[in-house]
Structure 1
Amino acid sequence: MKEVLFSIGPFTVYGYGFMIAIGVVAAFLVGMYREKKYAVGDDQIFSLGIWCLVGGWLAAKVLFVITELPAIVADPEWFLTTLSSGFVVYGGLIGGILTGYVFCRIKKLSFLKYFDLVMPSIALAQAFGRLGCLMAGCCYGKETAGAFHIIFPADCGYAPGGVPLIPTQLISSAANFLNFFALLFLARRTKSDGQVGGLYLIFYSIGRFIIECFRDDPRGSVGPLSTSQFIAIFMLIAGIAIFVYCGKKFPKTEEQAKET
């Protein structure tokens, strides 16, 4: 854990924010490289990324407010302490995709092609982001007696200190890196535009649902499920539907398949 990396006068660099920044930069670089390599568009990935960042950030914050509404109503001042840290990943994901769709409609671009182009980069950004969670001590796991564990310091602001916990942040990061490389591999083998994006939703939803079983940080819930598990069910259905529908509706020609 390294909540604060360094300070220069009044300027402080936090581990969580630093890893988020690395993830965003890496996602942009991979996206721009793949846009040129596959000649998807006319250098639109940077503008699209900015749109998606803003839309995703807003949606992630809105969903956080919705899931934590009882706590916010009970203590409005608590909300002010979460302005820089309180987000729900699924909100950012949904908001980013919707914003990207609007951008593509305005610019008259193929949304499905950019959907496939962007989603591996999203998985990469999430992988670095989860390392940021580890450095901040948030999104922590349940207490465990197993050998595979992590112990946070006693003064950790989020995770319980001094006790062995399941390293859910590391597991989540590894799962997202695996998702990233799997999508790059499968991008050359899908038969239709939109299927890579659909596979991202399938892989991420399954992984997130499982990892949620081992987390122990305060989260919203819907019945016996966490909010993220509840959303994951619908995202999984959406991913399967997109993969199957695009496969039937938008099959690639032999020439297009060779290009990708």
Structure 2
Amino acid sequence: MKNELLKIGPFTVYGYGLMIAVGILAAYFTGERRAKKRGLPYEHVFNLVVWCVLGGFLGAKILYWITEWKSIVANPGFLGDTLTDGFVVFGGIIGGILTAYVYCRIKNLDFLRFFDTLMPSVALAQGFGRIGCLLAGCCYGRETNSAFSITFHDSGFAPNGVALIPTQIYSSILDFIHYGILLFILKKQKKDGETAAAYLIFYSAGRFVLEFFRGDLARGSVGALSTSQFISLFTFVAGIVLLLVFSENARDGKTKRDMSA
């Protein structure tokens, strides 16, 4: 793969950055269209996307620094050296969700309805983002003898000249499938929050399994689990708890309506 796709004078178009931009735009356009269909004030989608991207990058950076605390203690200059690289996806998800919650509270918007409406687009954006990982050679897989493998020759991240499991491709495919499943759930859901909870459950489960095939183990670990697997356990449980809470709230609301009828 080639991360430097195009050079125009002093400017370079990088594959990773381009696919991140494509993912953000795809999330915005699909999210706005879905908000219109669901009768939400869609004019807020643009601001939500912008703020959530900023909050997501901040969350991804902070979580990366947390996982690298030993490096920071040994060399405080590590913070400045890693300002433009080193991010943890789960930190981005958490940061983006918290930012959306704060925005909706400030603007007096229905957070749960926006949460459900936009989370499928987050999965879509992640699918494009993983294509960027493939172009850059990051988030690579373990060495393999399988015929279905990928070999990098000019990567600054993955080992070059070695057949690797194409985890970026698997991740991207799963994200696009995830997008389709969430759209189906959103159409069929009977209570607010169901689609958002499903996002947390499915993404956490998929990420937990994929981590077994990742080869960039320098990202850190917690016992026998990678850092991402460890976090996946909590986000998976959070998704289950949210689904139960939303379901219970829906039943309570129905009971009160029946009693007042």
What amino acid is the match of 1:87? F
Q: How far apart are 1:81 and its partner, in Å?
A: 4.7
Deviation at 1:241, TM superposition (A): 1.1
Inter-partner Cα distance in structure 2 for 1:166 and 1:28: 32
Structure 1: distance between partners of 2:114 and 2:5? 35
Identity %: 55
Q: Quick one: structure 1 residues 131 and 52, their matched pair in 2 at CA, closer, same or farther if it must change by over 3 Å?
A: same
Higher helix content, 1 or 2: 2
Structure 1 counterpart SS, 2:54: helix
Count of residue pairs the alignment pairs up? 252
Post-superposition shift, 1:49? 1.3
| Match of residue 214 from structure 1 | 213
TM-score by length of 1: 0.93
Q: How does 1:97-246 map to 2 (within 5 A)?
A: 97-153=97-153, 155-217=154-216, 218-246=218-246
Q: CA deviation digits over 1:145-194, x for unaligned, max 9?
A: 111110000x4211011111000000000110010011011111111000
C-alpha deviation, 1:46, in angstroms: 1.0
Tell me if structure 1 keeps the 8 A contact 2:194–2:246: yes
Cα offset, 1:74, TM superposition: 3.5
**Equivalents in 2 of 1:152, 1:141: separation in Å?**
11
The answer as to whether partners of 2:32 and 2:42 remain within 8 angstroms in 1 is no
Shift of 1:248: 2.2
Partner of 1:258: none
Q: Distance between the aligned counterparts of 2:7 and 2:70, measured in 1?
A: 35
Q: Against the structure 1 CA distance between its residues 42 and 161, is the aligned structure 2 distance closer, same or farther, given a 3 Å change threshold?
A: closer
Deviation at 1:84, TM superposition (A): 2.4
What CA distance in whole angstroms lies between the structure 2 residues aligned with 1:245 and 1:199?
Answer: 13
- For 1:39, what is the secondary structure of its paired residue? coil
Q: Which residue of 1 aligns with 2:20?
A: 20
Offset, 1:118: 1.1
Classify the secondary structure of the residue corresponding to 1:13: strand
Answer whether contact 2:31 2:117 (CA < 8 A) is retained: yes
Matched, 1:84 2:84: yes
Letter in 1 for 2:116: D
The residue number in structure 1 matching 2:69 is: 69
Residue in 1 that maps onto 2:258: none
Offset of 1:41 from its aligned partner? 2.2
Separation (CA, whole Å) in 1 of partners of 2:213 and 2:163: 13
CA shift for structure 1 position 80:
4.4
Deviations 1:41-86 (A, max 9, x none): 2521111111111111111100011111223444555554533231
Q: Distance in 1 between matches of 2:42 and 2:170?
A: 37
Deviation at 1:20, TM superposition (A): 0.3
Amino acid at match of 1:119: M
Q: So what's the TM-score if we normalise by structure 2? A: 0.92
Aligned-partner Cα distance in 2 for 1:164–1:79: 33
Structure 1, unmatched stretches of 5+, are: 254-260
> 1:9 Cα shift?
1.2
- The CA distance in 2 between the partners of 1:22 and 1:77, in whole Å, is 33
**Aligned-CA RMSD value:** 1.6
